[in-house]
Amino acid sequence: MSKQFLVLVSFCLVFTTFVFAQQKTSGVIYYTQVIDTRAMRQGAEGQQQQSPRPNGFTMPDKITNKMEIIYNANGAKLQKSQVEEDISQAGNAEGGMRMMRFGGNADREVFFKAGDKKVTESFEMNDEPLLLEKQLGSNSTDVVKSDETRKIAGFDCKKVIIKDKNGSETAVWYTTDLAFTASPVPALWTEGVVLGLENQRMKYYASSIEYIKIKDSELALPKKARLITEEEYQAKQAEFRKRMQEQFRNRGGNGNQVIIREGGN
């Protein structure tokens, strides 16, 4: 075998490795989130069985959402891909369930900045675009490491058990093989990129990763959004819940159930 051929082969291997490494610095991670609505209802009702709904309404046992994290060398953003199930049509024609994300019908996005331990949430409240800063792992009180590993979306992941402020435990699977930091649930972040998490109410796993170019402009915060404090957010949240409960009572229920969510954070 000639030296020229060996040099050519070596160059091709090095070039291929370099290109693949470059690709890993920018792309999209696709996630599937499955919410167990029975566990959510039981938790809200103090573990009591839910009474039958009017008009024979039946709530779906599970709700599936599609989410994604787009990223490049400067940051990342968690956003909604699509909703697999139209929950507004759940139940029969006379009774349905409406899933409302807090702040109206706008979906919440979460921005991660490279090297920063904070995240910035973007959402609308009363048709006003707002921003809220939070610390990564803000709801974590205890982290127990494990020797258990699992391969998710082609990456070797380590497992930790995280206990939150409510005393609930969540199994989190993360990889340090990607050169950025992000999680589909930033409040339960540990380190690296979280590709899977699971507790009694929810499963959240990465299904695949696509290495494509992501522009910095796709990760930029909305320019017209206003930054608010945690205190202002809590006050607006309480006001929103009160208004939604009053509207629901004034309508007499109509066999509907309203679940208010805060984007899963």
pLDDT digits (tens, 9 = 90+) for 24-35: 899 999 999 999
Which of 38-52, 139-153, 210-224, 225-239 has the lowest average pLDDT?
Answer: 38-52
User: What per-residue string of b and e applies to 234-243 under the rule 16 or more CB within 10 Å gives b?
Assistant: eebeeebeee
- Domain assignments of the chain as residue spans, ordered by start: 3-261
pLDDT category of residue 237 using cuts at 50, 70 and 90: confident
Please name the residue ranges forming H helices in 99-254: 230-250
Of 164, 173, 169, which is closest to residue 191 (Cα–Cα)? 173
Output the pLDDT for position 38: 80
pTM: 0.74
Cα dist from 224 to 2, 131, 241, 254, whole Å = 63, 10, 25, 38
The share of the chain scoring above pLDDT 90, in percent, equals 54
pLDDT surpassing 70 at residue 175: yes
Output the pLDDT for position 159: 97
Question: To the nearest whole number, what is the mean pLDDT of the chain?
Answer: 78
pLDDT surpassing 70 at residue 49: no
Query: What is the mean predicted confidence (pLDDT) over 101-120?
Result: 75
